[in-house]
């Protein structure tokens, strides 16, 4: 939006010496010292945390609006200014008085000048940090980024994703998908597409939700992000271009509030699928599908039209079987799916840790059994029986008609009560290897033993109490090693730590070769 308060609120010099030292994205709140979501006031250059951390940036604005009776009028006016601030990570500008993001600038272009200065500070700090780490790598024989594998020392080449302001939900999903090899390789092998040319080529632009730009491609920005990960050339990558496209085509995710990682994953996969169907930026759909024709040819699960790599890898088919309890009429329906959302059975909901003594531990098998067991529909879900010509009581049962190459299982941890969406914090035990799905198949005799076994590739974890708060991280395996992805930070971990996680989304990959392992 066009903000009318910039001229009275943007008072600091673009190269102000009042700015703290270090990279802007790591600046600490002057009140609580938190370095999460720092915002800088464009009136006085003080740094405070965002409203989804401890809200000191907003409090700084509110305190400035309190009239002081013992001060002069000019001091009152000065005190009432601090309305505009800038995100130190994404450089977006926000006005508290307008309660919206700002797209315009002052006549002297001070907002853009401050933005460019913060970017220069960030780049300088990043370059210095890389130089320091390079020196440590050269001089230290036991550098923390090195690991001994089979007697040889190899570098950890994993790259983190910078948090752009409560974007951990997106980072956790991107890191998980980047470690699903068949899916990731497909996008990385697509030809690059230049989205900007002429005068804007190579220029970094800053977007807000009010700007109009139809020349965007989710597939292209997703490809660029995947290519940036696992190269080892930087410790963290900023996915701001991808996030801008997300804002453009997924209005639900505009702004900087916390979002549901599962909801984001579904939107992301659906929009990738739709864009691949229609081609993007001059690349025809047939040219895209030819990149991996084997996937398309073998896939029979089509969602919203033709098959793409999304449905070829994540697509499965459910059979929904409904039986009328009055006349016995049976109705069958086949539904394609990209993931399965599983309830955590109510009898396990007080079991918050694996070692807690009261009662048995909930397992992934319990959740799958609850999903596929015969269920009697309640009064609010009466089935319209075509034979009885009216709504009748009935039973429902799900069978899996076709398993996907990558089985995505979403544990339904958030439930609505009267006014709140509460979290089910139950620990659910899951296997790292050998998840056997054969007993949930409609025709198990038509599937070979290996086709029903799955090994874990990635886990998304939600830390905290509610869907609108907390933090997302991910565990994923890459070349036989497990990594923990926490925004910009990537660390090696072990299987025992992964198994202790309270999983929210699990990604299982179909086993390709025979290997001896325990089944679930």
Residues 237 and 31 sit within 8 Å (Cβ to Cβ): no
Residue from 178, 184, 137, 146 nearest 161 by CA: 178
φ, ψ at 370 (rounded to 5°): -65, -35
Q: Can you say how many angstroms the Cα of residue 85 is from the centroid of all Cα atoms in its chain?
A: 26
CA dist., res. 413 & res. 156, Å (int): 33
Expressed in angstroms, the distance from the first to the final Cα of the chain is 54
CA dist., res. 309 & res. 290, Å (int): 11
As a whole number of Å, the CA-based R_g of the chain is 26
Residues 101 and 209 sit within 8 Å (Cβ to Cβ): yes
Angle CA(265)–CA(270)–CA(274) in degrees, nearest 5? 150
**Marked catalytic residue, from 41, 85, 88, 168:** 168
CA dist., res. 284 & res. 150, Å (int): 45
| Helix/strand/coil for 362 | strand
Backbone region of residue 37 per phi and psi (left: phi > 0; alpha: psi in -120 to 50; beta: other values)? left
Exposure of 83 by Cβ count < 10 A (0-12 exposed, 13-18 middle, 19+ buried)?
Answer: buried
Residue 168 known to be catalytic: yes
| Helix/strand/coil for 142 | coil
Name the DSSP letter for residue 221.
H
Residues annotated as catalytic are 168, 471
């Amino acid at each position: 939006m066009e903000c009318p308060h910039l001229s009275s609120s943007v008072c600091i010099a673009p190269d102000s010496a009042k700015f703290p030292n270090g990279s802007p994205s790591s600046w600490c709140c002057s009140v609580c010292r938190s370095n999460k979501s720092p915002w800088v006031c464009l009136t006085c250059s003080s740094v405070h945390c965002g409203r989804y951390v401890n809200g000191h940036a907003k409090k700084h604005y509110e305190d400035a609006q309190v009239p002081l009776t013992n001060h002069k009028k000019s001091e009152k006016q000065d005190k009432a200014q601090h309305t505009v601030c800038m995100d130190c990570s994404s450089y977006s500008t926000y006005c508290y008085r307008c309660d919206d993001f700002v797209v315009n600038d002052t006549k002297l272009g001070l907002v853009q000048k401050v933005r460019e200065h913060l970017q220069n500070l960030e780049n300088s700090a990043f370059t210095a940090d890389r130089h320091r780490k390079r020196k440590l790598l050269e001089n230290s024989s036991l550098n923390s980024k090195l690991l001994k594998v089979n007697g040889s020392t190899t570098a950890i080449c994993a790259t983190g994703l910078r948090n752009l302001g409560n974007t951990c939900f997106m980072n956790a999903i991107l890191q998980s998908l980047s470690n699903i090899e068949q899916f990731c390789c497909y996008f990385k092998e697509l030809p690059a597409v230049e989205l900007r040319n002429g005068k804007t080529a190579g220029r970094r632009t800053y977007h807000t939700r009010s700007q109009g730009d139809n020349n965007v491609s989710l597939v292209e920005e997703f490809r660029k992000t995947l290519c940036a990960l696992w190269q080892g050339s930087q410790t963290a990558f900023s996915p701001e271009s991808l996030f801008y496209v997300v804002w453009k085509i997924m209005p639900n995710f505009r702004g900087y509030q916390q979002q549901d990682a599962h909801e984001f994953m579904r939107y992301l996969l659906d929009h990738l699928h739709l864009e691949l169907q229609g081609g993007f930026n001059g690349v025809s759909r047939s040219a895209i599908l030819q990149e991996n024709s084997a996937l398309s040819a073998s896939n029979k699960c089509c969602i919203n039209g033709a098959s793409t790599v999304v449905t070829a890898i994540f697509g499965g088919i459910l059979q929904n079987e409904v039986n009328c309890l009055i006349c016995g009429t049976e109705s069958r329906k086949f539904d394609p799916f990209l993931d399965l959302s599983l309830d955590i059975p109510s009898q396990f909901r007080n079991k918050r840790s694996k070692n807690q003594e009261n009662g048995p531990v909930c397992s992934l098998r319990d959740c799958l059994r609850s999903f596929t067991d015969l269920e009697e529909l309640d009064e609010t879900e009466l089935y319209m029986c075509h034979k009885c010509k009216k709504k009748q009581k009935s039973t429902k049962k799900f069978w899996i008609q076709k398993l996907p190459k990558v089985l995505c299982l979403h544990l339904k941890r958030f439930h609505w009560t009267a006014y709140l969406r509460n979290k089910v914090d139950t620990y659910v035990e899951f296997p790292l290897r050998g998840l056997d799905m054969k007993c949930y198949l409609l025709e198990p005799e038509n599937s070979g033993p290996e086709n029903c076994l799955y090994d874990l590739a990635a886990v998304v974890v939600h830390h905290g109490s509610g869907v609108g708060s907390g933090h997302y991280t991910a565990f994923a395996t890459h070349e036989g090693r497990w990594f923990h992805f926490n925004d910009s930070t990537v660390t090696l971990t072990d299987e025992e730590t992964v198994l202790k996680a309270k999983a929210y989304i699990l990604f299982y990959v179909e086993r390709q070769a025979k290997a001896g392992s325990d089944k679930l």
